[in-house]
């Protein structure tokens, strides 16, 4: 539904998979095919210009294409028919050479690859922009203390910078994977009826080489009509990147809960309101990200199931990709755009983060005390003793430190001053700064501008 596009997909990658772009991708294949074949002497040079002139989506009847595709079984058959008729009206001789030696899947798959090339270029731009914003925020909040949470409970202190750095680290890996997959995924599809190019006889390899060069695509070792790992790889990249951002959005929405209130989404007129409750500021960006991500396992499952394709050309599996892959990519575009908006304008309540460290009355620092006491009485006994005192603090709803100071065993080895230091969250973040610095260093190594200093 187009009315939901701005919410669930945005326009970030959607335009690459419009009806016009789908048709244009196949027409670009047809124009390049004529050019390559003329260069190899397979068709007359005079046929190229009349064919290429008609390879414009706006010249075709798209509603008629859609209607005819239902009977034909794919979009390429009626497309080639319309294209041939339009070329014939201008040059009957040239019309003889439209789609020469190719099969429908060659046009459809290569057209899809051309669409994916544009989508990947745009995704890379948006990912680079998102990475820079995230790196700047990581540096900005590198030393901002907050509770770490495991099993949805307070664990040990961390910094908000470390939380952000974990996402940044993952995005840098997705950026590396994008560079690695491009040569494999952006490959020409050209095999003819059964993947042998038999209709071109000995000139098949030469035409394929010229065709790949004309389109700027890699030349695969074999046609890949029923070997769909390329489709799975590019889908997995978009889905995996989105899931990483979905994890961040989920964490962010939990930190935005009223009782936690450590972060909030960007403030904008009319954004995040409720139709019933005027006080609400709902995490609408997080909701859009999560709605998209929650659909992706099902889409990926379809693409995995579609890998089982029959012999040299598929019956059902290939066809199942046609809407599934574009849908996944378009949803990923929305995830990228909403994530950048969220990270760029997020509101961070550093005072509330620090205050939330104190809501357990020092219990979050119990491990530090245990470790210090263990140096005197051993880990097991220290753990047992501090655990008892923590349970007592919970039962009495009182701070942990007075109980520690009054305990004969603890006070025998640790002074009040030592306990105060051990219970200071700022003294218990371990290697946090080291980890954040490593991620920011790798960010710089991958060619990005260094973020603003914190």
Containing 157, the helix (H) or strand (E) segment is: strand 153-159
The separation between CA 269 and the C-alpha centre of its own chain, rounded to angstroms, equals: 28
Q: Is 313 a catalytic residue?
A: yes
Catalytic residue among 18, 46, 67, 274: 274
- Fold of the domain built from segment(s) 2-351: Fumarase C; Chain A, domain 2 (1.20.200)
d(CA 386, CA 373): 9
pLDDT for the residue 269 = 64
d(CA 156, CA 367): 8
**Residue 189: which region, alpha, beta or left (left: phi > 0; alpha: psi -120 to 50)?**
beta
Catalytic residue among 56, 177, 295, 313: 313
Per-residue pLDDT of the chain (454 residues; tens, 9 = 90+): 567 667 777 788 999 999 999 999 999 999 999 999 999 999 999 999 999 999 999 999 999 999 999 999 999 999 999 999 999 999 999 999 999 999 999 999 999 999 999 999 999 999 999 999 999 999 999 999 999 999 999 999 999 999 999 999 999 999 999 999 999 999 999 999 999 999 999 999 999 999 999 999 999 999 999 999 999 999 999 999 999 999 999 999 999 999 999 999 998 765 655 444 445 578 999 999 999 999 999 999 999 999 999 999 999 999 999 999 999 999 999 999 999 999 999 999 999 999 999 898 888 888 899 999 999 999 999 999 999 999 999 999 899 899 998 999 999 999 999 998 988 888 889 999 999 999 999 999 987 765 554 4
pLDDT for the residue 275 = 45
Residue pair 241/329 in contact (Cβ under 8 Å)? The answer is: no
d(CA 414, CA 373): 7
87: Cβ contacts below 8 Å, ≥ 6 apart: 50, 51, 54, 94, 95, 98
Sign, CA dihedral 21-84-73-207, equals negative
pLDDT for the residue 5 = 66
Domain ranges of the chain: 2-351, 359-422
pLDDT for the residue 301 = 98
Give the SS3 label for residue 192: coil
Region 359-422: CATH code = 1.10.40.30
**Strands 263-264 and 145-150, bridge-based pairing:** unpaired
Which whole-number Å values give the CA distances from 202 to 31, 252, 312, 338, 446, in the listed order?
Answer: 22, 60, 21, 51, 45
Same fold for the pair 2-351 and 359-422: no
């Amino acid at each position: 539904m187009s009315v939901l596009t701005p919410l669930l997909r945005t326009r970030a990658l959607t335009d690459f998979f419009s009806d016009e772009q789908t048709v244009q991708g196949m027409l670009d294949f047809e124009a390049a095919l004529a050019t390559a074949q003329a260069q190899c002497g397979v068709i007359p040079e005079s046929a190229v210009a009349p064919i290429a002139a008609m390879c414009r989506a706006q010249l075709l009847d798209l509603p008629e294409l859609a209607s005819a595709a239902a009977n034909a079984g794919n979009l390429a058959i009626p497309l080639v028919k319309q294209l041939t008729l339009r070329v014939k009206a201008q040059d009957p001789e040239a019309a003889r050479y439209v789609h020469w030696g190719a099969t429908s899947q060659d046009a459809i798959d290569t057209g899809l690859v051309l669409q994916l090339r544009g989508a990947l270029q745009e995704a890379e731009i948006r990912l680079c922009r998102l990475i820079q914003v995230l790196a700047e925020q990581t540096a900005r909040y590198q030393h901002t203390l907050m509770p770490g949470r495991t099993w949805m409970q307070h664990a040990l202190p961390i910094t908000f910078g470390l939380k952000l750095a974990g996402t940044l680290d993952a995005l840098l890996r997705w950026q590396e994977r994008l560079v690695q997959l491009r040569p494999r995924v952006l490959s020409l599809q050209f095999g003819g009826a059964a993947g042998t190019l038999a209709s071109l006889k000995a000139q098949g390899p030469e035409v394929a080489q010229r065709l790949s060069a004309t389109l700027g695509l890699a030349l695969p070792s074999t046609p890949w009509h029923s070997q769909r790992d390329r489709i799975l790889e590019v889908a997995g990249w978009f889905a995996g990147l989105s899931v990483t951002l979905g994890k961040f959005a989920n964490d962010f929405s939990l930190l935005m809960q009223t009782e936690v209130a450590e972060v909030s989404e960007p403030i904008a007129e009319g954004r995040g309101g409720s139709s019933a409750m005027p006080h609400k500021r709902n995490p609408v960006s997080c909701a859009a990200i999560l709605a998209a991500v929650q659909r992706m396992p099902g889409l990926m499952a379809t693409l995995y199931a579609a890998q089982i394709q029959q012999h040299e050309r598929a019956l059902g599996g290939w066809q199942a990709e046609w809407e599934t892959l574009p849908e996944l990519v378009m949803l990923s575009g929305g995830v990228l755009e909403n994530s950048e908006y969220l990270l760029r304008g997020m509101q961070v309540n550093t005072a509330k983060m620090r205050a939330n460290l104190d809501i357990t009355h020092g219990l979050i620092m119990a491990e530090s005390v245990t470790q210090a006491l263990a140096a005197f009485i051993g880990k097991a006994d220290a753990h047992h003793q501090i655990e008892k005192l923590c349970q007592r603090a919970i039962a009495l709803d009182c701070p942990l430190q007075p109980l520690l100071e009054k305990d004969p065993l603890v006070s025998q080895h640790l002074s009040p001053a030592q306990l105060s230091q051990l219970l200071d969250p700022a003294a218990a973040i371990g290697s946090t700064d080291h980890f954040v610095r490593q991620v920011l260093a790798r960010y710089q190594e991958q060619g990005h501008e260094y973020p603003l200093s914190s």
